[in-house]
Amino acid sequence: MSDLPKSVRIGLVAYRGAQKAALYGLADVFDVAARHASENGAGRTLVQAIVPAEDPETLDLAGHDILILPPNLSGARGAADTALRAALRRRHAEGAVIASVCAGAFWLGHAGLLDGRPATTQWLLEDEFREAFPKVRLATERILIDDHDIVTAGGIMAWIDLGLHLVARTLGSEVASLTMRHLLIDPVGREQRNYRSFRPVLGHGDDRIRQLQLQMEQAPEGDWRVAAMADRAGMSERTLARRFAGATGLTPNAYVRNLRIEKARGLIENSRLPVAGIAEAVGYSDLSAFAKTFQEITGLTASAYRKRFALGA
């Protein structure tokens, strides 16, 4: 490590609407990490600074090795922040690592830094982000993606994951472990799909498809094969499949899988029913098929999900 700089300078970009908890929380994480690095002879340290970025006239991102765009709580998406976007492009071209959390990824997208690259953002923003930046290889099931000079993190509180990741990347895993233990946090191994909810589209205007959806909500354990759905809707299977996908964005089978697992999540969180009973309640007669589907969609086994999210745990 002798050829590496002794100090890594991190700039926390305080643009308009930036989440203050992320700005000051990241500052604390890096300060704690720097202290442990010093006490344990790591040979390097972190120097953090909150960088004012609301006024284009005084904006200055120079001197920072890593720049972090925190979440945004105002609903803005960075399209109008031309000075900040230009400064980010310039610093990236000069060799700085650029990172974002949650909606902060929109600023990177508008700066043209994500085209053709893997990235993540808050899963609730997926449709909006894909529409704005179709060239980005978006993976919202991931909570953090390190693409070397660009690092993106998902949900609003994923600044914790990003902060610890950057500590490990710059100061090593031992300092990262000491920092986690000091702060009593351990986000390692999380994925956004652990938290993601299925939100059916109902405002599409196709009344017959919407009636099917409402019937599924009331009885997810029912017979929801395509043939049965087509019979209920009074149309051919081919027409049903086409109209259903056009209205909801999902094939009928994919919709049923997602709806049933969402219902199962709720039962796991709010009841003490055994997993086998929950599987049956949402329409799975084969427990192994339920277990496989649940883990594919949520990233966790049903028992691990209950341990983490059960409201009465």
What tens digit of pLDDT does each residue of 209-249 get? 999 999 999 899 999 999 999 999 999 999 999 999 999 99
For the chain, the distance separating the N- and C-terminal CA atoms, rounded to the nearest angstrom, is: 45
Cα separation, 133 vs 127, whole angstroms: 10
Asked if residue 105 lies in contact with residue 121, where contact means CB atoms within 8 angstroms, the answer is yes
The whole-number pLDDT of residue 43 equals 78
Predicted local distance difference test score (pLDDT) of residue 2? 38
Percentage of the chain surpassing pLDDT 70? Answer: 97
Is 110 strand, coil or helix? Answer: helix
pLDDT tens-digit series, residues 72-109? 989 999 999 999 999 999 999 999 999 999 999 999 99
- The position carrying tokens 């427990």 is 287
Is the pLDDT at 193 greater than 90? The verdict is: no
CATH domain 7-194 topology: Rossmann fold (3.40.50)
pLDDT confidence of residue 188: 65
For residue 187, the model assigns a pLDDT of 66
- Judged on CB neighbours under 10 Å (0-12, 13-18, 19+), 303 is exposed
Please check whether residue 245 is in contact with residue 204, taking contact to mean a CB–CB distance below 8 angstroms. no
- Enter the pTM of the model: 0.77
pLDDT digits (tens, 9 = 90+) for 142-162: 999 999 999 999 989 999 999
What would the pLDDT profile of 33-66 be if each residue is shown by its tens digit? 999 999 887 778 999 999 999 999 999 999 999 9
For the chain, domain boundaries: 7-194, 207-309
8 A C-beta contact, residue 84 and residue 115: no
Classify domain 207-309 at the CATH topology level: Arc Repressor Mutant, subunit A (1.10.10)
